[in-house]
Structure 1
Amino acid sequence: MGIKRLASTLGLSIATVSRALNDHPEVSMQTRERVKAAAKAIAYSPNQSGRSLRKGRHNTVGLMLPPKGSPQHHNWDPFHTLAEGIQARIASEDLELVLFQSSDPADELSRLKRVVERRLVDGIILAGTLRRDPRLDYISEQDFPFVTWGRSLSGGEHSWVDFDFEVGIAQEIGQLIAIGHRRIALVTPNNDAMEGHLMRHGYRAAMRRHKVSVQKEYLGRDEVSERGGHREMTRLLALDAPPTAVIFQSDCMAVGAYGCMQSLGQKPGVDMAIFGGVLTGELAQYLTPTLSGFSVNLRPLGECLAEALLGHMAGQTANLTGINAHQLWPLDILHGESDGTAPA
């Protein structure tokens, strides 16, 4: 049954029924309740496209994923779980989630401009932030609600939720030093990803705090992939004084390092301590030895991002239910067998 027949059944005008369904103050409470009860009884659902045109809204939230082939997009699992959390939160507001992804970084800004200028969604969450991010410089100048998964030097003051990389790295380095490691390497993405900058900053600060010198050759950068991890481990093992422990940004890089060591007759976790960084999925527990790394629950993080964005969409300051405009998300260390051995 359409709104015309619903109005006819109630003996009301179409305009009155429409206003009642949208809680218009010009319609009495008694009439609103009567219309809603009748609509519920016949499972009436308003035409969403018509409502969007009238309200100037689409009742959708966008999530812009990193471009295919970029370091941040190597593994889809974390974004899938994050999207589940976002969808779970916005569903209570009768909103839907739309995903956007570009084929390469060069097209990403153009796509964002199309989304914003055509108002294809009511608000957007941007992932995979860079230290200098042209997307944020652009969108911060628009009258458009957005939040980011990750920090950046771009975009001025804006709301973000990000992993607490500095604290997480400091905790792992403290544990490695406590069992005797001093030659500790760090391998991060080879692009301008903000997470790489934060991990290197946390690494340097922690090493200084423990009065351990930072060797330039122990700071490696490569693509976030098994291939990148294999290349970096090959380079590190060829040094005159190889590190006794290596911290990787991601578990996929650690997998490549495992393969490199095993091809040379060395054992991860025995001949060298390996820390897998941010763990995605269940991969870590099926490696031999089991891989240590940062365990994160991305579903509630997605809900947090959605909460912040809803605040901006409502014209607030992203402070609903105590969610701050800037929030650091804790990284918990999941202890496996790969990083608990003292150096030989």
Structure 2
Amino acid sequence: MKGIAQLAQQLGISTGTVSRALNGKPDVNAETRRRVLEAARSQGYAPNHAARALAQGATHQVGFMIQLAPENASSNDYFFMGVFDAMQRVLDKHELDLLVLPCPSHQDHYTYLQRFVSRSAVDGMILASTMRTDPRITLMQSSGIPFVTLGRSSTGSGYSWIDLDFETAVETAIDRFVARGHRRIALTLPDGEINFGSVVHQSYRQALARHGLEYDEQLVLTTHRREDDGDGVVDRLLALSAPPTAIFLMYELTAIGIYRRLRERGLEPGRDLAIISFRDEPTIRFIEPSLTCFHISLDDVGIALAHALLAQIPQFSKAYPGGIIGKRPPVTLVAGRSDACDPPA
């Protein structure tokens, strides 16, 4: 097993550069980092703080990388806490600990992940908030560390993923709206390159086409997960010459702002605008009229993630034969009164 000095000599670079590359420092260019990691793997090198764990063949830790965003800092999103709880209940049976790795909003998520990969700090990794093109997947596949993504991506293939069933939720929502006579149906999407936004957008267009409805890009707006964005949604949609009579929301918090802004303009949610949101969440359970949305079992999501990861770890794979390549735990409609209206005359 070579040390840093020997790796540096072999590659013709300084020991400092080798050390920074192995520890995921951002001041090392991508090609140098690749060469260092490749040489380190081929020579069986491990940093001192991970050597003992590697010698034993296990760290007894599973990493879960989440991406922090400024708009989420003050919001109460219970999604990940529910998923963590379910995962840890499964992992605890095998004496594994769940290590939550929150990537700061100012940090490049690839560089952040690379730090933990280079240290061999975990026996397996969960990647959340997958992007349409996500270099983290390429990094994990080249590392040899078992991993599962929470969400799909166009990057790579043959890896396990667990995702929410956005397609069924969108199709169900559009079908409900159309059954009540709505023909102008708006949609909100997440701002940025997160992959589920493209999944939802495609499902929306397909559902409209199935009902013979025309797609209008003016009815598709991007939002963040915050209630204030609902004010802008209402103002922009009502400014159209033919405003929508129904809307499907990706972020449930947006409904609070939409309710408030509609009433400020003399309109009533559930009467003048039919509303369905993607996810049932404690924050919106007491708004009136009650919000029609979808229930997702966080237990199902967390358990599926744990099983998919354990299926790839040799000492546990016999208990989870076959592994999991792709799975979408079901969503269940929770009918409220926010969409119980016919289109306004």
TM class by shorter chain equals 0.7 to 0.9
Match of 2:289 in 1: 289
Provide closer, same or farther for how the CA distance between residues 307 and 70 of structure 1 changes in structure 2, counting only shifts above 3 A.
Answer: farther
Query: Given residue 290 of structure 1, which amino acid in structure 2 is its aligned partner?
Result: S
Q: In the TM superposition, what is the alpha-carbon distance from 1:149 to its structure 2 partner?
A: 0.6
The RMSD of aligned alpha carbons is 2.4
- The aligned runs of 1:284-323 (5 Å cut-off) are 284-314=284-314, 320=320
**What residue is the counterpart of 1:329 in the other structure?**
329
User: 2: distance between equivalents of 1:217 and 1:243?
Assistant: 10
SS at match of 2:103: coil
Paired residues in the alignment total 295
Is 1:241 the counterpart of 2:245? The answer is: no
Unaligned runs of 5+ in 2: 1-49
CA contact (8 A) 1:70 1:105 kept: no
Contact 1:137 1:156 (8 Å CA) reproduced: no
8 A contact 2:253–2:284 mirrored in 1: no
Distance 1:58 1:183, change over 3 A: same
Percent identity, aligned pairs only? 32
SS in 2 for 1:81: helix
Verify: 1:271 aligned to 2:259, yes or no.
Answer: no
Kept in 1, the 8 Å contact 2:54–2:120? The answer is: no
Change (3 A) 1:181 1:321: farther
1:343 to 2:343 alignment: yes
Name the stretch that deviates more: 72-81 or 102-111: 72-81
- The worse-fitting range, judged by mean Cα deviation, of 84-93 and 63-72 is 63-72
2:196 is paired with a residue of what secondary structure? Answer: helix
1:328, distance to aligned residue in structure 2 (A): 1.6
1:261 aligned residue? 262
Work out the CA distance in 2 between the residues paired with 1:189 and 1:318. Answer: 39
Contact residue 72 and residue 224 of structure 1 kept, 8 A: no
Cα contact 1:62–1:100 (8 A) shared by 2: yes
Letter in 2 for 1:342: D
Q: Give the 3-state SS of the residue equivalent to 1:251 in structure 2.
A: coil
Mapping 1:72-151, distance limit 5 Å = 75-104=76-105, 106-151=107-152
> Can you list the C-alpha shifts for 1:46-69, whole angstroms capped at 9, x where unaligned?
xxx998464132101111112232
Partners of 2:310 and 2:70 in 1: how far apart?
30
**CA, structure 1 residues 73+112, in 2 after alignment: closer, same or farther (shift >3 Å)?**
farther
Structure exhibiting the larger radius of gyration computed from Cα positions:
1
CA deviations on 1:204-239 (whole Å, 9 max, x unpaired) are 000000001111101111222212232222211111
Q: Letter of the aligned partner of 1:111 in structure 2?
A: Y
* Paired residue secondary structure (1:63): strand
Give the superposition deviation at 1:321. Answer: 6.0
CA gap 1:330/1:73 in 2 versus in 1, 3 angstroms: farther
Q: Give the aligned partner of residue 252 of structure 1.
A: 253
Q: Which residue of 2 aligns with 1:204?
A: 205
Consecutive unaligned residues of structure 1, counting only runs of 5 or more, are 1-48
Residue 279 of structure 1 and its aligned partner are, at CA, apart by: 2.3
Contact 1:220 1:232 in 2 (8 A): yes
TM-score by length of 2: 0.80
SS in structure 1 of the partner of residue 149 of structure 2: strand
- Over residues 234-267 of structure 1, what are the superposed CA-to-partner deviations in whole Å (9 max), with x where a residue is unaligned? 2111111110001010211112211211221211
Paired with 1:212 and 1:71, the residues of 2 have a C-alpha distance of 35
Contact 2:76 2:283 in 1 (8 A): no
Of 144-153 and 253-262, deviating more is: 253-262
